[in-house]
Structure formats: C-alpha cells, structure tokens
C-alpha cells in the first residue's frame, strides 16, 4: 500500500535527515569538536533546512496544515522540552561527577566550554526527539 | 474501540465524495480525513460540524459517542 505523506510529514522527514547529517558528527567525532565546528554545524543546519524546506514547498502542491498538524506539533514540542530538561540534568550531573572524581578540571576557562558542550548536546537531542515524536504521531494517526 | 465513532466513509460513499474533496471542503488534509474515518483521531467540534455540513447530515448522524470506548 502506498504511503501518502502530507506536506508537514515531508518537511519533518527532511528535517530529520538534515539533523542527522549535520549533528551526527558531533556525537561520533566528539574528540575533534571545537567552538568553530559547533558554530559551523549551527550555520550548516540553518542553510540546509532553508534549502530543503524551500524545495519541498516548491514541489508540493497542497501545503495546507490543519488542527491535527498543530496538535502533533505540540506533542513534539512537549517531548522536546522533556528531552532538553532531562539531558541538561544528566549532562550537568555527569560533569559534576567527573569533576568530583578528578577526571576533568573545572576551572573558570574550561567551565564555559563544558557547559556549552552539554547545552548544545541537549539541544541537538531535544531537536531530534521533537522531530521523531511528530513522525511517530503521524504514522500512528496521532 | 474509540470513544467517538463516525459514519463518514459510508456517508461519503453515498454522496460519491472522495476523501480529498471532503478534506478540501472542510479545510483539513486528506490524511486527517483518513485518520478520522479510521477512528484514530477525534476532530474538534468545529471540524466535526463542518464535516456534517458538507455531508448534509445532522452532527449526531455523522458522529456517535460511545462512553465505553477509550479516548
């Protein structure tokens, strides 16, 4: 049976692909991360999202969104919010444990970088959680 | 079994209206019409009234509430 995708679903699949392509290296090449690379990733995801969303908008005739789309979007944001708060607590807790065990040194210079790393990781995971939650809701009808 | 059930598919077939036509006239996506017909999504009151209006039947003929059904 052919799967019919709405405009919102197409944009969500494109968003997920863009997120995995751009953010993937952040987790798998963690040792090589730097502030410049994080800034580059943020810039890349913005550009990629604009290009892909424009392409989908051009090639999709019916771009209507309705109440169900808004409800699913809210579900996604709720899941994303829980993910970001959970990841922040876990990330900061892990930082504290590593510092207490003496595995990392939290001086004033490094603390900002560690916090930024945890914050960016939490944002990335919450973004992906938000998108996946919405796609699952669409496939389950809600 | 869903708490809100409907006869949209049957009423639509009687009037020879496609899912896309109904969706366009109600102002929702075809995927939403499919979800409503399969009892997987309960529409808002406004959308339910619009569906009944397009199909030319009273609301209660189109949608039924089953208190034993799950939300």
Which tens digit of pLDDT belongs to each residue from A84-121? Answer: 999 999 998 998 898 888 887 777 777 777 888 888 88
- Is B18 an 8 Å CB contact of chain A? no
Residues 6+ apart with CB under 8 A from B65: B3, B4, B5
A6, A66, A140 ranked by CB distance to B27: nearest: A66
Q: What is the pLDDT of residue A142?
A: 63
Selection from B50, B51, B31 nearest residue B41 by Cα:
B31
Please give the average per-residue pLDDT across A52-76, as a whole number. Answer: 88
| Structure tokens, A2 | 């052919």
| Structure tokens, B37 | 């017909």
Residues 6+ apart with CB under 8 A from B41: A68, A141, A142, B32, B35
Q: What is the pLDDT of residue B14?
A: 94
φ and ψ of A2, to 5 deg: -70, 140
A9, A64, A67 ranked by CB distance to B44: nearest: A67
The mean of the pLDDT values for chain A is 85
Would you call A139 exposed, middle or buried from its count of C-beta atoms within 10 A (0-12, 13-18, 19+)? Answer: exposed
> Most B CBs within 10 Å: which of A2, A6, A139, A141, as the mutation test of the B interface?
A141
In chain B, the domains with their CATH numbers are 4-61 (1.10.260.40)
| Centroid of chain to Cα A99 | 27
Q: Which residues of A touch B43 (CB under 8 A)?
A: 67-68
Nearest chain B alpha carbon to A8: B29
């Amino acid at each position: 049976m052919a799967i019919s995708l709405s405009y919102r679903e197409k944009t969500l699949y494109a968003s997920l692909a863009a997120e995995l392509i751009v953010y993937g290296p952040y987790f798998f090449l963690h040792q090589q991360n730097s502030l410049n690379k994080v800034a580059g990733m943020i810039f890349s995801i913005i550009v990629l999202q604009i290009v892909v969303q424009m392409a989908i908008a051009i090639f999709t005739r019916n771009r209507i969104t309705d109440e169900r789309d808004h409800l699913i979007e809210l579900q996604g944001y709720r899941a994303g919010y829980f993910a970001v708060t959970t990841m922040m607590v876990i990330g900061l807790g892990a930082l504290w444990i590593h510092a207490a065990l003496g595995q990392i040194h939290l001086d004033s210079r490094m603390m900002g970088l560690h916090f930024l790393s945890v914050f960016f990781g939490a944002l990335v995971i919450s973004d992906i959680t938000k998108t996946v939650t919405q796609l699952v809701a669409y496939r389950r009808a809600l | 079994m869903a708490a809100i059930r409907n006869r949209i598919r049957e009423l639509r077939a009687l009037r020879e209206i496609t899912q896309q036509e109904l969706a366009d006239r109600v102002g929702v996506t075809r995927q939403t019409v499919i979800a409503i017909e399969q009892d997987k999504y309960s529409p808002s009151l406004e959308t339910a009234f619009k569906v009944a209006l397009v199909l030319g039947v009273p609301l209660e003929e189109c949608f039924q509430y089953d208190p034993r059904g799950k939300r």
